[in-house]
Amino acid sequence: MVKDMTRGKPLQVILLFCGPLVLGSLFQQFYSMADTLIVGRFVGVTALAGVGSTGSLSFLVLGFVFDLWKICWVVWPVGGLLCGIAALILSGRK
């Protein structure tokens, strides 16, 4: 489905566009909270420290990958090439 984002009320268009992004971020936060609760309660303090220390790194990597794919979709002519290159790099094929 293609939606023309240049038509309509700007605030409504922006909010409809951002809705899935906000929802995805909320689910990621819930996953992180559940992970912390489960590891802290059932595995132990050392494992909880490991989860806490890698949370920022995980957030950084996921943010980079998501932003790379956003760039691919926004800049489609060049993005197709970037997506192809990124897919090759991430798949490990030569």
**Residue carrying structure tokens 């990621």:** 28
Inside any domain, residue 80: yes
Give the domain range for residue 62.
10-91
> Considering its fold, how many domains does the chain have in total?
1
The answer to whether residue 50 is domain-embedded is yes
In a domain, 3, yes or no: no
Give domain status of residue 33, yes or no.
yes
Q: Please check whether residue 2 lies inside any domain of the structure.
A: no
* pLDDT for the residue numbered 74: 65
Residue 4 domain-assigned?
no
- Taking alpha carbons only, the member of 2, 63, 70 closest to residue 83 is 70
Regions of the chain short of the pLDDT cut 50:
none
- Say if 38 falls within a structural domain: yes
pLDDT (0 to 100) of residue 78: 57
Q: What is the pLDDT, as a whole number, of residue 8?
A: 83
